[in-house]
Amino acid sequence: MTISPWIKIEKYLHSANDWYQETPQRALDQAYNAALAIKEIEDEHFNGKKISAQSVNYGDSVLSYFNSELRKYLKIVKMRLVEFNASRYVFNFQERVAGQPHHREVMDKSANFYDLEPKDRASQFFEKLEFIDGVIGKYTKVEMPQSLTAILPTTNSQNMSLNSSSQSSQQSENKYSADSNKNIANSIDTSAAEMSLLPRSLLGTLNRITRDLNPEAEKEVIKNFRNSKVKTIISIRFILLLILIPLLTQQLSKNFIVGPIVDHTRPGEISQTEIAQIFINGDLEEEAFEELQRFEEMLKFRELVGLVSPLSLEEKEKRVEIKAVEIAEEYRNESANAIKNVFSDIVACGVFAGIIINNKRQIDILKSFMDDVIYGLSDSAKAFIIILFTDIFVGFHSPHGWEVILENVSKHLGVRENRDFIFLFIATFPVILDAVFKYWIFRYLNRSSPSAVATYKNMNE
């Protein structure tokens, strides 16, 4: 007796769902095991103290080995806690800890945990988190931030604002998922430069002379370099995260989740009674008719110029019929692809929004990094970039670019092109962008770098 393919797919989906449902508990167990390994090294080789040269008197080779093991286990703990934090928001994990698990036949491999009473399961769950926090806390709370404490502003008001922002960000994050990169990120000064009555160039020159006369100038340079290096790494990593994760999510959801569902719901064969199975909108239908018409005209042209022997009416009809079926199948696949794009884009946008919401501190660091990059350019470079962007998006030739973009977006989503909407968008949106550019130049750039504004006006004339 053969098993139906749909039954196999259903079993596969159930097993995949069970595996995903187990992600929080599995990630927590792996982090707990890594913390146990660190604790075992501390108890056996460092008398229960922290893994460092101050605890025991080992040689450099031995300490190097233990430090490499520590970094390996800390990396495992960090990755698994990130996986745990991300997955516990997706799955109803708290209810499963306190209540009965789903699909008990799959949970037999973890029966030691799920056979306990609900109160005991919850107690074991929080004991693991507390143990992990106690083990990794001594390695993530002290070491890295000390190298950046002197980078912080010296005024009392700035220190108070930075301390309050770091405390609020630490309270919003789970204390057991803190790592060295996050501690460095929390120590970075992302406050914007305040406006002054004097030009920034003059103030910068005076500050540079003051720093050069300071005996601690070399240390300050090193500390500022470390601050800038960490800020750059975090910003570039976050930019790549914003770009790659939504793109990968869109492709994976389209090919493995949305695509199979759409292909299953749409009929396998073209129905002669429903034209909507082939064309999702009127534009695709018109394109198909034009393509079929060009094929008929091409046959007639080849026959008239003698490239092919004269065809009978039946042969012409047969070739046109074969071409029509090919065109119908092509546009049917294109319509299905547009439907897949709609749902996969929604999933990608949701992931992008989730990244933005859950990484507010990284966004602040990215803003500070962009401010440093933009305001650190020369006056001519600033003017060149402003002219380039304004000419592309709000310049004389920009309507043609916006028209191409909107047409491609409509084709991507399977929406019929509305010329009235496109012309209305082109008549309003570039104007809004132009107003935003001018406001930014007047409000910020004109105060921080008047010479750049003057250069921009001279180059734009």
138 shares a domain with 34: yes
How many Cα atoms within 13 Å fall on the side-chain side of residue 49?
Answer: 8
156 is a domain residue: no
**What confidence tens digit (pLDDT) does each residue in 280-307 have?**
888 888 889 999 999 999 988 988 888 8
Q: Is the residue at 158 inside a domain?
A: no
Judgement on whether residues 304 and 420 belong to the same structural domain of the protein: no
- Assigned domain for 161 exists: no
Tokens of 255: 């090919």
Residue 355 shares a structural domain with residue 222:
yes
- 110 with 9, same domain: the answer is yes
- pLDDT above 80 for 205: no
Number of domains in the chain: 3
CB 448 within 8 A of CB 195: yes
- Crossing angle of the two packed helices 60-90 and 23-45, in degrees rounded to 10: 160
**Per-residue pLDDT tens digits for 308-351:** 888 888 888 999 999 999 998 898 888 889 999 999 999 999 99
Tell me the pLDDT of the chain averaged across its residues.
75
**What is the rounded distance in angstroms from the CA atom of residue 226 to the CA atom of residue 232?**
10
- CA dist 330 and 344 (Å) reads 21
Note whether 271 and 358 are same-domain residues: yes
Per-residue pLDDT band for 8 (boundaries 50, 70, 90) equals low
Task: Give the mean pLDDT of 369-391.
Answer: 87
The range of the structural domain enclosing residue 74 comes to 1-151+171-187
- Cα dihedral 173, 175, 179, 182 sign: positive
204 with 343, same domain: the answer is yes
